[in-house]
């Protein structure tokens, strides 16, 4: 029912997330170069006068010359913040910033949060209406009922851009999608089902209105509030509630549910009792959407009715009613056709598109991450929030409905081309990373944190456990629990800590290590000393002995030194080459750079191995590989003495007949710039490369670190690939968040 995931974290971690670096979660970034005086003259005075006059002559051109067409205002007065109540406009700002982040992350919609310090309906209406020239759409959020009804309806009448109260309609659309599929699975028709709605607030009324618009009969819906069933003779109800009053002899929720097909709960925790569920019709459909605790837990409902289909607002149960499945894509479609509003036809189209998506074959990566149902069925009636197909399917359905219903002012003539453009608008890496996190929660693993005395590592371990991604196994001395307590952990003793000074595993570790190293000049006492004194050795041995599923280290020592220690215990996987990958992640692109950490002067065979294994990583992250072997030379120009291994690597891949595009040797601008690549029509790349294989460690390491410090994209890595055990070596400057990401990738098998 909301965008929040039911992930646990400490208050300290939440505050650090919002405060570290630049406070808050959003910033304004210029979309045009502003380097020279000429740039500034074009951007502002005198160049800006030209589009000003064009817009004055034809207001519609504002969509061509400004950001208006992709800009949404997220507006709140803080009177109904999440489940926390009326905490005021200023307190709502973190939530509204978060909403802006979701718009950008899921649908590439730019948005600005606007918090209005007023509970006066007329003042809020006037303030928002006056902002129409600035925005392409208005998303109302966390405004209490019944004021939200008045504000939205009035603004829709007065404004010529989409106005959408997500608390109402976002919830209604996802609920309707789930209801369509639940009815399909149980052989019901919308026009025949009997529905009980528990709750009479904004979301409940919006859900009721939408399902009635889709065919549910008025007299088949009973709406209840705290006092019972809402009937025409009830006093103390508002006009929006009275619109759904039905004459009936049933007065309580218990009575209303006898023989009911559907329960829509938008009320309070525990409102639906098991004995009430028992009295519902066969194969009851239950949407228990109170957050964070539903009206009934799915397991309680299924204890009395195993045939029930249950949805909640929680991410830790199947069938999550999550607004993020809808609102970003609804606005995307509405903005792209410059709709004057979001009408019922567009809402129904969104609900149907979402329902249809759940019935399609589920991509394997989504199925694995979802962790429960791998195909359409009682536990998969609503798509996962991170399904990468939502952008294309929902946005295009909304855009078409806007055109068909006459509210589109810029119709799309080529829908196939539009769907293709939607697919390319977002970076699949972001979805896959979300999938990795969800997969970790679905299949939690034991991850060894080898430097368990460092604060940043402990913070990562806390976040890893509290997020539900698995069990952290800490390596450290006797004071680790005290350090955890100092970080605010209430039960530090519940963390598993391994200390080499008194670990019963030490004798077995020494035997294992001595057997590996005795023919490399090491004595048994050398093995004993390393096990007792070196955390990387000790942690790697824990991994080898099966005490963990993956390991993360690297904070306290250089990468090269850490790798030397790890390699004393863990080998490279058979038939593979170990190497490091840095991953640059932008809004709409990802570039993989390898090898950035391990092999100083890789041979042709090693370069080919690195290319092939990086292509596998890219595919696991949702990309079709296009590999460029980089050099200072492009196809022999200029000539050089260090090109043979690169050229031979291409020949090796030719012989292997790999199933991806590759080319080289080539300079970076040729690999990445289509205009430069066009100068070489014989080149085998169909587009810019997304995998850059570096000729040697010196250039690779320098490039990766320069890009990390100077580039505008996010950087993941280095990610270690090719080891026989899942181990990741972080950089010494890694943050807790980066350590968690590496731990999740290692545990989830993406980095293998």
Binding site residue list: 81-88, 141-142, 167, 291
For residues 606, 563, 559, 585, the Cα torsion angle rounded to the nearest 10 degrees is: 50
Angle at 471 between CA 469 and CA 474, to 5 degrees: 130
DSSP sequence for 666-683: E-HHHHH-HHHHTT-TT-
Integer Cα distance of 508 and 513 in angstroms = 9
β-strand pairing of 714-721 with 579-585:
antiparallel
The answer to whether 347 and 327 are in contact (CB under 8 A) is no
Q: Is 546 left (phi over 0), alpha (psi -120 to 50) or beta?
A: left
Q: Is 636 left (phi over 0), alpha (psi -120 to 50) or beta?
A: left
Both structure tokens of 254: 């218990």
**Angle, in degrees to the nearest 10, between helices 390-404 and 93-107:** 90
Integer Cα distance of 283 and 346 in angstroms = 30
Where b means 16+ CB within 10 Å and e means fewer, 373-393 reads beebebbbbbbbbbbbbbbbb
Both structure tokens of 519: 């023919």
Distances (CA, A) of 544 to 99, 471, 568, 739: 44, 17, 12, 21
φ/ψ of 131, rounded to 5, equals -90, 5
Binding-site residue positions for a divalent metal cation: 141-142, 167, 291
Integer Cα distance of 199 and 223 in angstroms = 7
The 8 Å CB, 24+ separation contacts for 481-485 are 483/453, 483/455, 483/458, 484/458
Binding-site residue positions for NADP(+): 81-88
Both structure tokens of 542: 């824990």
Helix (H) or strand (E) holding 202: helix 202-213
Say whether 99 is catalytic: yes
Cα-Cα end-to-end distance for the chain: 36
For residues 106, 109, 114, 115, the Cα torsion angle rounded to the nearest 10 degrees is: -10
Cis previous bond, 60, omega within 30 = no
Both structure tokens of 277: 């569920």
Angle at 693 between CA 692 and CA 695, to 5 degrees: 130
Alpha helices in 467-505 (DSSP H): 480-486
Alpha helices in 518-627 (DSSP H): 524-533, 535-544, 559-567, 604-620
Q: Considering only CA atoms, which of 378, 223, 383, 198 is closest in space to residue 294?
A: 198
Q: Which of 25, 32, 68, 99 is catalytic?
A: 99
Both structure tokens of 717: 């890595």
What one-character DSSP code corresponds to residue 551? E
Integer Cα distance of 261 and 545 in angstroms = 54
Q: What amino acid positions are annotated as catalytic residues?
A: 99
């Amino acid at each position: 029912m909301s965008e929040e995931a039911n992930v646990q974290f400490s208050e300290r971690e939440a505050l650090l997330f919002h405060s570290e670096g630049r406070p808050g979660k959003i910033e304004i970034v210029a979309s045009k170069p502003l380097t020279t005086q000429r740039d500034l003259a074009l951007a502002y005075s005198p160049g800006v006068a030209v589009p000003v006059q064009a817009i004055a002559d034809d207001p519609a051109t504002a969509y061509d010359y400004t950001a208006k067409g992709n800009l949404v205002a997220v507006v709140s007065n803080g009177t109904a913040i999440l489940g926390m109540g009326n905490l005021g406009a200023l307190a709502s700002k973190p939530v509204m910033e978060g909403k802006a982040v979701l718009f950008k992350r899921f649908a590439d919609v730019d948005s600005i949060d606007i918090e209005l310090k007023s509970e006066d309906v007329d003042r809020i209406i006037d303030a928002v209406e006056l902002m129409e020239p600035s925005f392409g759409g208005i998303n109302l959020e966390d405004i209490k009922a019944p004021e939200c009804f008045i504000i939205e309806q009035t603004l829709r009448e007065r404004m010529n851009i989409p106005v959408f109260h997500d608390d109402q309609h976002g919830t209604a659309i996802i609920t309707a999608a789930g209801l369509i599929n639940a009815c399909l699975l149980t052989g019901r028709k919308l026009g025949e089902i009997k529905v009980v709605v528990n709750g009479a607030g904004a979301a409940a009324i919006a859900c009721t209105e939408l399902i009635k618009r889709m065919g549910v009969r008025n007299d088949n819906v009973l709406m209840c509030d705290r006092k019972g069933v809402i009937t025409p003779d009830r006093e103390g109800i508002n006009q929006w509630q009275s619109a759904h009053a039905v004459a009936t002899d049933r007065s309580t929720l218990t009575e209303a549910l006898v023989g009911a097909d559907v329960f829509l709960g938008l009320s309070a925790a525990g409102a639906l009792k098991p004995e009430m569920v028992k009295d519902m019709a066969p194969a009851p459909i239950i949407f228990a959407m109170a957050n964070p605790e539903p009206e009934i837990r799915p397991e309680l409902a299924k204890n009395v009715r195993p045939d029930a289909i249950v949805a909640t607002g929680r991410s830790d149960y199947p069938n999550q009613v999550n607004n993020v499945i809808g609102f970003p894509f609804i606005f995307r479609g509405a903005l792209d056709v410059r709709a004057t509003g979001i009408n019922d036809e567009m809402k129904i189209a969104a609900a149907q598109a979402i329902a249809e998506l759940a019935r399609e074959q589920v991509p394997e990566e989504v199925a694995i991450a979802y962790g429960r149902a791998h195909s359409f069925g009682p536990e998969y009636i609503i798509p996962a929030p991170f399904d990468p197909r939502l952008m294309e399917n929902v946005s295009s359905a909304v855009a078409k409905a806007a055109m068909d219903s006459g509210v589109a002012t810029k119709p799309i003539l080529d829908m196939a081309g539009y769907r293709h453009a939607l697919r390319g608008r977002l970076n699949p890496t972001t979805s896959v990373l979300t999938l990795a996190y969800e997969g970790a929660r679905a299949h939690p693993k034991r991850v060894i944190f080898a430097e368990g005395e460092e604060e940043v590592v402990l913070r990562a371990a806390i976040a890893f456990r509290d997020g539900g991604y698995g069990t952290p196994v800490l390596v450290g001395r006797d004071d680790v629990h005290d350090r955890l307590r100092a970080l605010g952990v209430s039960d530090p003793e519940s963390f598993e800590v391994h200390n080499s000074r008194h670990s019963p595993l030490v004798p077995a570790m020494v035997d294992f290590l001595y057997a590996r190293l005795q023919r490399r000049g090491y004595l048994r006492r050398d093995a004993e000393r390393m096990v007792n004194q070196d955390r990387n050795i000790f942690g790697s041995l824990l991994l080898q002995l099966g005490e963990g599923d993956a390991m993360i280290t690297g904070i306290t020592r250089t990468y090269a030194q850490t790798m030397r220690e790890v390699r004393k215990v863990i080998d490279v996987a058979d038939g593979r080459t170990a190497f490091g990958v840095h991953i640059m992640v932008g809004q709409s692109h990802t570039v993989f750079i390898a090898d950035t950490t391990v092999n100083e002067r890789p041979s042709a065979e090693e370069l080919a191995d690195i290319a092939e294994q990086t292509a596998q990583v890219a595919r696991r992250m949702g990309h079709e590989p296009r590999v460029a072997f980089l050099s200072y030379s492009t196809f022999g120009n200029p000539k050089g003495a260090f090109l043979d291994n690169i050229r031979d690597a291409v020949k090796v891949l030719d012989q292997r007949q790999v199933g991806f595009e590759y080319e080289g040797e080539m300079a970076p601008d040729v690999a990445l710039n289509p205009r430069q690549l066009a100068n070489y029509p014989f080149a085998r790349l169909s587009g810019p490369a997304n995998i850059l294989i570096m000729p040697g460690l010196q250039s690779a390491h320098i490039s990766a670190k320069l890009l990390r410090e100077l580039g505008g994209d996010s950087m993941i890595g280095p990610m270690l690939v090719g080891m026989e055990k899942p181990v990741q070596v972080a950089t010494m400057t890694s943050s807790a968040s980066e350590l968690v990401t590496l731990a999740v990738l290692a545990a989830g098998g993406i980095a293998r």
